[in-house]
Amino acid sequence: EPVLEAVGELVEVRLSFLGERTAGGGVACLHGESECVGNKAQLCTHKHWPSHVDVDTRGLPAHLNWLLFLRCAAEAEGGRPFNTTAASRIPGNTHACLQRYSVPSATADAIDACVRGAEGATLLAEAVARTHTLCGHHSSRPKTACKSCTMSIEGKPACVLDEGAVYNCTGLASSQAWVARLCDAAARAGWAPSALPLACRAPSMAAGGPSRPGPSWPTVQGHSYASIDPRSSADFAIRYFGATLLSDSRPRCLGKADERPPREVSVRLPRHADFRGGGLELRFVSNPRKPGGAYDTAAHTAAMTLLFGNLSVNTGHHWNQYFDFHLGFYARPSDLIAA
């Protein structure tokens, strides 16, 4: 889930299932007919899932919120994911899971009709054929042939999770590695850099960027900025981005403008535990030779609004893109910055 929360907008999830075609044109599932019914329930739910459900999507993009149903269907008694076939409640929990996410009754009826009819049978046959194309047929021998769950990227097997063992995951040992692989795939597919999610655009995740010892959430190094009034610049970061003041070094002597030592004010931005990174240290340094009057917070806000548009999270798209890419943090919504 952390991977889909970070870069889900790049991903289209398709389900494939283990099974074999029968002489009569149907499908025989590994654990019998009830498994076939459960598989069709998942495929039909994906096919008929409403475009919007009024629930907490847990960070998933809208086109993937049907995965909430899979999470629910995979629950055993007590709400924990089942780890044995005997503990599975599929397909008996289909309607309860649809009700949990307030799926309209008309949609639930369409899903039920799909499961019971030709549509569901066709979807299952296609899913099994997809499995055979991706990784072949199932075998009971350990670590051979096609297993559940085999994950694929761009039509090629990428990783296997089977009976608690994880294998054949070359270069995909962590969530961060999956994010990097998907970002690289999107870049190769022609996505514009500015259209990629933040997890792709941050410096340590950018495709083709500098070499790195291993995949990790992006980290951002410090930056220095010239400012007529360093403290006002720092106050702006503190006020709008929750920065913490680190130091304020004031000039100790007076004299001509070009002889005065610079004033330096340093702040640290909040650090996020997720893909946004953060923790950036900014240093604002006075430039005595630059003409102009006091550059206070209001003037700074006005200048940024002129350059990057409205500063709210919802409408300040250019502002947020600029800081997402260069600094790795978001503008916080408030009445002040939305004005």
CA distances from 67 to 13, 77, 172, 204 (A): 9, 20, 22, 29
Average pLDDT score, the chain: 71
- Pick the more confident residue, 274 or 278: 278
Lowest mean pLDDT among 19-33, 80-94, 139-153, 300-314: 300-314
Cβ neighbourhood burial of 45 (10 Å; 0-12, 13-18, 19+): buried
pLDDT recorded at residue 126: 95
Whole-angstrom distance, CA of residue 204 vs CA of residue 217 = 7
248 contacts 231 by C-beta, under 8 angstroms: yes
The pairing of beta strand 20-21 with beta strand 244-249: unpaired
Distance CA 190, CA 208 (A): 14
Q: Does residue 39 surpass a pLDDT of 90? A: yes
What pTM was computed for the model?
A: 0.58
- Taking a C-beta distance cutoff of 8 angstroms, is the pair 205, 185 a contact? no
Identify the pLDDT of residue 326: 41
**How does pLDDT run across 168-179, given as a tens digit for each residue?**
888 888 888 898
What are the pLDDT digits (tens) for 179-233?
889 988 988 888 877 677 777 765 444 333 333 333 333 333 345 666 667 787 7
Q: Where are the domains of the chain?
A: 2-140, 172-218, 223-338
Reduced 3-state DSSP string for 185-213: HHHHCCCCHHHCCHHHHCHHHCCCCCCCC
Q: What is the pLDDT of residue 266?
A: 85
Q: What is the pLDDT of residue 297?
A: 53
pLDDT top residue among 51 and 83: 51
Q: What is the pLDDT of residues 285-323, one digit of tens each?
A: 765 544 444 444 555 555 555 544 444 433 333 334 444
pLDDT confidence of residue 80: 54
Q: For residue range 102-159, list pLDDT tens digits in order.
A: 888 999 999 999 999 999 999 999 999 999 998 888 877 777 778 878 898 988 888 8
